[in-house]
Amino acid sequence: MKGLLVSGTASGVGKTTVALAIMAGLRRRGLVVQPFKCGPDFLDTSHHTRTCGRPAQNLDTWMLGTEANRSVLRNGARGADIVVAEGMMGLFDGKSGSTEIGSSAEIAKLLKLPVVLVVDAGKSARSVAAVVLGFEMFDVELPLAGVILNRVASNRHYDMLCEAIGSACKTKVLGWLPTEPTIAIPERHLGLHGSAEQSVGDQEASMDALASLAEKYLNLDGLLGLECGLEMIENSPARAVDSLSRDAVRVGVPSDHAFSFYYEDNLDMLREHGVEIVRFSPLNDTSLPADLDALYLGGGYPELHAGRLSSNREMLEDVRAFAASGRPVYAECGGMLYLGERLDVGDESYAMAGVLPLSMQMTQALVQFGYATIEFVEDCLLGHKGTVVRGHSFHYSKIASRGELGMSYHVQYSMSGKEEMEGFRRGNVLASYIHLHFRANPAVAENFVTAIRHAQSSRAVTA
SS3 label, residue 135: helix
Cα atoms in the 13 Å half-sphere on the side-chain side of 455? 25
Bridge-partner residues for 383, per DSSP?
380
SS3 label, residue 417: coil
E strands along 211-274, which residues?
249-254, 259-261
CA 316 to chain centroid: 27
Other beta carbons less than 10 A from residue 406's beta carbon: 14
Backbone Cα Rg of the chain: 23
Distance set, CA 41 to CA 126, 216, 259, 413 (Å): 34, 29, 14, 17
Q: Has 333 been annotated as catalytic? A: yes
Show the CA angle centred on residue 143, arms to residues 142 and 148, nearest 5°. Answer: 115
Select from 44, 54, 110, 45 the least CA-distant residue to 78: 54
SS3 label, residue 74: helix
Q: Letter for the amino acid at 150?
A: N
Distance separating alpha carbons of residues 183 and 181, to the nearest angstrom: 5
Q: Catalytic: which of 38, 169, 333, 380?
A: 333
Q: Catalytic site residues?
A: 333
